[in-house]
Amino acid sequence: MIKRSSHRRRGTQQSKLARLAMLIILLATLSACSSAPPEEPPEKMISFTKDVLPGKTVLDVQRADTDSDGQSEWVVFYRFDQVSDRGPVAALIYDVVRDPSSQLPIVYPYRLRTPDQNYLALGQPKVALVDVVPEVGGVIRKELVFTTTHELTFFRLNHDPASQLTDDPPLYRCIGFFRSDGGVSFDPSKGLTVTVTSQAGYERSQLVTRYYYKPEADGYFITGTTSLVQPFASAIDFPEGIPSDILDTPYPEKIILAFYKTLGREDAKPKVTDYLSDQATQEFEAGRLRYGSPYLKDQIKYAVVKELGYYPTQEDSKSTIVAVKVVFYPKSGERSPLIEVRWTLIRVQNRWKMDYPQP
């Protein structure tokens, strides 16, 4: 009996040791598992930079309803021919459409082609949707507009993207393309007029010519071409308004422009007679100065200078001639024909003054 009891105690101790060993092994296994790096979850997002356009610098991806179907597409901007951080910018539109063969949805790319393979912009464009060309039947299908300081491009939906899965002919057709070093502006809240500013021809005096465009039947291009429609108006102007020190300018053509831009403005400073010599001021106030207007000075609402022609001048020049072509707009709402006036200007106390018009 004593021996049997001793054997039972030894068996119980061995069982406890075995359970302890198993517990140690289990803890060691759990410790090893917890120290191993966790497995990476599978990638669930498509990256335009890594997966779609590898090797290209993707500037931005924006969501916009570019085809007026009530769903947002992806507008992707990227650089090509890049040197350092500079290079032309192009754009693609990715849309979820149904593949007719498999009836499965796929992400399909559409190119935004500009005339003559021109680049879209040099910087990141802003995106807007504007109703430029009305659709037949009153359907609202807005045009896609890209704007920068120097570029402006319009694209129109060429056909319903659900009707056929193709980009030939292009789904988005360019209907207007403007570029100018002087600047391009477009404010749809004020209408559909595009203003293009050119510095050509007036580099000496830093004047600019502004050209104004409106869309016609097929946008801003002549139908069937990629040539812009003719501007409906133009004007020579100061880049940022009449300078505060205009009377001291060394350029007589600026005096002429400021005079005509001041006509009709009673609160203008300098006032209109500040640009005239004493003799011309007397003639103007008496209503005898022949500055081109077919209307009395009190009837003029404003005047628009269309052309300026001048001769080079030196610091010691005492007189010069400037030719100007002007259209006058009276308060009655009419307009004059284009009228040319040739002015003789003289220096008075080192300031250019308009003295008298040539006969």
Query: What does the pLDDT look like over 181-195, one tens digit per residue?
Result: 999 999 999 999 999
Domains of the chain by start residue, with CATH: 48-237 (no CATH), 246-357 (3.10.450.100)
Tokens 């005239």 belong to: 276
Query: What does the pLDDT look like over 221-244, one tens digit per residue?
Result: 999 999 999 999 999 999 999 999
Contact 83, 75 (CB under 8 A): no
pLDDT at 34: 54
Looking at this protein, which amino acid is placed at residue 114?
T
Q: Which helix (H) or strand (E) holds 149?
A: none
Stronger pLDDT, 31 or 80, i.e. the higher one = 80
Q: Which of 161, 158, 162 is nearest to 175 (CA)?
A: 158
Q: Which of 73, 87, 142 is nearest to 120 (CA)?
A: 87
* Residues making up the chain, counted from first to last: 359
Query: What does the pLDDT look like over 275-317, one tens digit per residue?
Result: 999 999 999 999 999 999 999 999 999 999 999 999 888 888 9
pTM score, whole prediction: 0.81
Q: Is the pLDDT of residue 3 over 80?
A: no
Give Cα 258 distance to the centre of its chain. 29
d(CA 162, CA 68): 12
Contact 303, 260 (CB under 8 A): yes
d(CA 32, CA 38): 12
Q: Is the pLDDT of residue 11 over 60?
A: no
Paired strand residues for 78: 58, 90
Q: Hey, which bits of 238-350 come out as E strands?
A: 300-310, 319-330, 339-348
Contact 228, 213 (CB under 8 A): yes
Among 41-45, 111-115, 314-318, the range with the most confident prediction by mean pLDDT is: 111-115
Q: Burial of 333 by CB count in 10 Å (0-12 exposed, 13-18 middle, 19+ buried)? A: exposed
Torsion sign across C-alpha atoms 288, 291, 293, 297? negative
Looking at this protein, which amino acid is placed at residue 181?
D
Looking at this protein, which amino acid is placed at residue 190?
K
Contact 140, 68 (CB under 8 A): yes
